[in-house]
Amino acid sequence: MSLLHGLTALDLAAVGPAARASRILADYGMRVIKVAPVAGAGVEAIEPVFHAYGGGRGMQKIRVNLKTEAGRNVIVRLASRADALIESYRPGVASRLGIGYEQLKAHNPRLIYCSTTGYGQAGPYAQWAGHDIDYLAVGGFLACSGRDAEGRPALPGATVADSAGGGMHAAMAIMAALVGRAQSGVGTHLDVSVVDGVLNLMSLYLDQYLATGEETQPGSALLTGKFACYGVYTAGDGRHLAVGAIEGKFFRNLCRLLGVEHYADAQYDPSRQDEIRQGLQERFRTRSRDEWTALLADKDTCVAPVLAISEVAANAHLRSQGAFMTANHPKHGTFGQLAPNLAGAERDQPTFNLPPAGQLDTDAVLGGAGYSADEIRELRGQGSVQ
């Protein structure tokens, strides 16, 4: 049985950290009901591309018009039966709509209400709009990252803030709150700030500064490129290798296999880093990336190939771990997608058949919440649901 089987979450967000959080929860077996605005109700509707966020795998979808009292009451009734609710409105908006934590708590004291925002529910930045790059900027991540050709912080290759600072942060907080509720019997309001999540990711450097006053910059610390034993090198075919030989034994193995044993005892000599880095680079240029991988990766050198996304998708090791699965779309056909791949999730998944565009689960969701067929027809006629 899936770890979160039997639990239900409402997700009122279409994209971003909240959508990533509900994807994680669904992958652990939680029933997730995606609540979107009614089309044409004057609310900007964001529809992710068909393959985004697992294509809605394991989720149900309903459209609700929160501008109507009946629509708001639908959320209240669904929340009264749910274990968790995730929303990503600006601070104060959910309460003005009548679906804030205190309002829903009155109907379901066990509800775990998760608000995901960029900067939290209070404070000078609380009403700022933002996206992943903004949260990485305010949390110190960009300042410690590599530089582009113009000397500016380089764009990261993944949405680190949305995925880890927000989505994983929210999912972990919800799971912790579920454990707490099992003891106390009551729910809670989780104020998930994406920037707080980024701060957690940056804890090594923040704690260092707070304790010593030493500020981390690109090239100033071991993990930001100060030493040649930790970095990225170009192979003879123009592709790249990641070297993370922090410990002396790994660096000695690397130097021996590269034929540069004279660098082994100078691993952390500040005066010789440019020399060592150049020497390693010259050696790596003599063979292709895959040749070096075959020679070094399994020899305790902490060397790995830098894989393109296409190579990741075809990688034999990842395939052997069940990292990918098959999906089928009525318009786009059969394609692959990332399987539930976090520890404890069910990786062995059957083919996921995506519903046709626009298909909703309104009758099933509302029927499960106690609405009769006549009531559902009336809600549709009012334009409160679709």
Cα–Cα distances in Å, from 66 out to 72, 137, 276? 5, 34, 63
290 is a catalytic site residue:
no
The interaxial angle of helices 373-382 and 69-81, nearest 10 deg, is 140
Q: Which residue has the tokens 């990533």?
A: 20
- Measured between alpha carbons, how far is 363 from 342 in angstroms, rounded to an integer? 32
**Tokens linked to 151:** 């000397």
Amino acid identity at 24: I
The answer to whether residues 163 and 197 touch, using CB atoms and an 8 Å cutoff, is no
Beta-sheet pairing, 112-117 with 188-193:
parallel
The answer to whether residues 55 and 27 touch, using CB atoms and an 8 Å cutoff, is no
- Measured between alpha carbons, how far is 103 from 113 in angstroms, rounded to an integer? 11
Which one of 107, 131, 269, 290 is the catalytic residue? Answer: 131
- Measured between alpha carbons, how far is 174 from 177 in angstroms, rounded to an integer? 5
- Measured between alpha carbons, how far is 189 from 303 in angstroms, rounded to an integer? 44
Beta-sheet pairing, 8-11 with 112-117:
unpaired
- Measured between alpha carbons, how far is 165 from 174 in angstroms, rounded to an integer? 14
- Measured between alpha carbons, how far is 224 from 202 in angstroms, rounded to an integer? 12
- Other residues' Cβ atoms within 10 Å of the Cβ of residue 185: 9
- Measured between alpha carbons, how far is 114 from 122 in angstroms, rounded to an integer? 15
Rg, C-alpha atoms of the chain: 25
- Measured between alpha carbons, how far is 158 from 160 in angstroms, rounded to an integer? 5
Task: Mention every residue, 6+ apart, whose C-beta is less than 8 A from residue 171.
Answer: 20, 21, 24, 25
- 73 membership: H or E segment, kind and range: helix 69-81
- Measured between alpha carbons, how far is 16 from 135 in angstroms, rounded to an integer? 12
162 is a catalytic site residue:
yes
Which one of 27, 132, 134, 162 is the catalytic residue? Answer: 162
Residues that are catalytic: 131, 162
